[in-house]
Amino acid sequence: MMLASPPAALRTGTQSRDRVRQLWTRLRQAARGDRGEVTVELVIATPLLLLTLLTIIQLAVWSHATHVAQAAASEALAAARTQDGTTGTGLAAARGLLDDLADGPLRDPVLDVSRGAQMVSVSIRGEAAGVLPGVHLPVHAEVSGAIERFVPDLPAAAP
What is the pLDDT, as a whole number, of residue 5?
57
Reply yes or no on whether the pLDDT at 70 is more than 70. Answer: yes
Q: What CA–CA distance (Å, rounded) separates 142 from 77?
A: 10
Q: What is the DSSP string of 8-42?
A: GGG--SHHHHHHHHHHHHHHHHHHHHTTTHHHHHH
Are residues 65 and 128 in contact, defined by beta-carbon separation less than 8 angstroms?
yes
Are residues 98 and 68 in contact, defined by beta-carbon separation less than 8 angstroms?
yes
Contacts of 87 (CB under 8 A, 6+ apart): 80, 113, 114, 115
Return the ∠ at Cα 155 (arms to 152 and 158), rounded to 5°. 160
Beta strands in 36-105 (DSSP E): none
Reply yes or no on whether the pLDDT at 73 is more than 60. Answer: yes
Kindly report, residue by residue over 19-32, the tens digit of the pLDDT. 888 888 877 776 66
Are residues 139 and 125 in contact, defined by beta-carbon separation less than 8 angstroms?
yes
Domains defined for the chain, CATH in brackets: 37-146 (3.30.1300)
Provide the residue type at 36 as one letter: G
pTM across the whole model: 0.69
Mean pLDDT over each residue of the chain, to the nearest integer? 84
Kindly report, residue by residue over 44-56, the tens digit of the pLDDT. 889 999 999 999 9
Higher pLDDT pick, 88 / 5 = 88
